[in-house]
Amino acid sequence: MSEPLYLSNDALMHAVREVFQVESDALKRLAETADQRYIDAIRLLKHCQGRIVVCGMGKSGLIGKKIAASFASLGQPAFFMHPGEAFHGDLGMVQPGDVLLLLSYSGETDEVLKIIPSLKHFGNKIIAITGGLESSLAKNADLVLDASIEKEACPNNLAPTTSTTVALAIGDALAATLALETQFSPMDFAKYHPGGSLGRRLLTRVKDVMRSEQLPTVSADTPITDALMVMTQTRTGLALVMQDDALLGVITDGDVRRYLLAGHQVTSGVAQDMMTRSPRTVDETCMLAEAEELMREKHIKWLVVTNAQQRVSGILEWSQ
């Protein structure tokens, strides 16, 4: 038997919701107070001649790693640099054209402040994300983004909770808005995420995944019963009605249902009686994502794939 909790279920649920409320209130305030400084920051980041270097200590460092990863995911060369390691040699990674994004809620984090003289010497621009608007960090930054909060979500108002959420949201706002400004497209995203499902879809062409062997083909005068057998044996739910190399139409499960509902008998007709003429097709060089979007929009499960000579080269099934 598990040990009972100190607080009642109602008290625990209230505490959970209080955390959400405190942090959401902080984000709402952030949205309401965002000003020209964000536009200036976007402009500075867009015209960066080097990389975006994100730097922070402790919990701010953990948030900084995520922010750097977001920039990189959205096509902006970026990396995280630990301020302690930077002070002991890693500043060699910083190039003159880099823009530094320094995170410190107090603005007085010693490890962060120690590297500022070197950055000034290198000529790097500094964007500060801090709640200390009169802090040493703020005074030495080229731009200051206000990350101040009313209180932490921690019950003792001590552990970085609301402050780290706000810092992360500011980083997300910069990265997402910069992607919008640079017209970063889904295809661009796929280039940087080739291992993900989105990347595979956006970089994959129809010919790479289409079924090209043992296609379910019948002729126009094939008895409907035989056409249904082909559909069943090939496990496609589709039959291609062909005349030589030309596609006359297709028979789908939907065509079968409509044929029967119209009062026809499958034992007396032929394929051309049931088929859908001029079915939708897609070129085999089309991107898979575009083909799937067409199938989703038109509510169809199968697409006939054609080659450069407009001949059938395969069929594509939409796997949701």
| Residue 115 pLDDT grade (very low, low, confident, very high; cuts 50, 70, 90) | very high
pLDDT of 284 reads: 92
pTM over 0.75: no
Lookup: tokens for 273: 């009686």
Residue 230 contacts by C-beta under 8 Å, 6 or more apart in sequence? Answer: 216, 217, 218, 222, 239
pLDDT of 148 reads: 97
Going through 52-132 in order, the beta strands assigned E by DSSP cover: 52-56, 78-80, 99-103, 125-130
Mean per-residue pLDDT over the chain, rounded = 90
Please state the rounded mean pLDDT for residues 49-60: 96
pLDDT of 194 reads: 60
Q: Are 256 and 239 in contact (CB under 8 A)?
A: no
Residue count (the chain): 320
pLDDT of 293 reads: 83
Please state the rounded mean pLDDT for residues 60-72: 96
What does the alpha-carbon distance between residue 56 and residue 41 come to, in Å, rounded to a whole number? 18
Please state the rounded mean pLDDT for residues 140-148: 97
**Is pLDDT at 1 greater than 60 in this prediction?**
no
Q: Which residues of 150-170 are buried (b: 16+ CB within 10 A; e: fewer)?
A: eebbeeeeeebbbbbbbbbbb
| Residue 255 pLDDT grade (very low, low, confident, very high; cuts 50, 70, 90) | confident
Lookup: tokens for 203: 């970089």
Query: pLDDT, tens digit, for every residue of 195-240?
Result: 555 666 667 888 988 888 889 999 999 998 999 999 888 888 889 9
Residue 73 contacts by C-beta under 8 Å, 6 or more apart in sequence? Answer: 175, 189, 192, 193
State residue 209 phi and psi, 5-degree precision.
-125, -5
Q: Are 103 and 75 in contact (CB under 8 A)?
A: no
Query: pLDDT, tens digit, for every residue of 269-296?
Result: 899 998 989 888 899 999 888 888 888 8
Q: Which residue has the higher pLDDT, 165 or 262?
A: 165
pLDDT of 16 reads: 95
What does the alpha-carbon distance between residue 222 and residue 217 come to, in Å, rounded to a whole number? 10
Question: Residue 218's beta-bridge partner residues?
Answer: 241
Strand 52-56 with 78-80, pairing = parallel
Please state the rounded mean pLDDT for residues 21-36: 96
Q: Are 102 and 119 in contact (CB under 8 A)?
A: no
**Is pLDDT at 58 greater than 90 in this prediction?**
yes
pLDDT of 236 reads: 82
Query: pLDDT, tens digit, for every residue of 159-177?
Result: 999 999 999 999 999 999 9
Q: Are 259 and 227 in contact (CB under 8 A)?
A: no
State residue 313 phi and psi, 5-degree precision.
-120, -10
Going through 161-320 in order, the beta strands assigned E by DSSP cover: 217-219, 238-243, 246-252, 276-277, 281-283, 302-306, 312-317
Q: At what angle do helices 224-233 and 253-261 cross, to 10 degrees?
A: 150
Integer-rounded Cα radius of gyration of the chain? 30
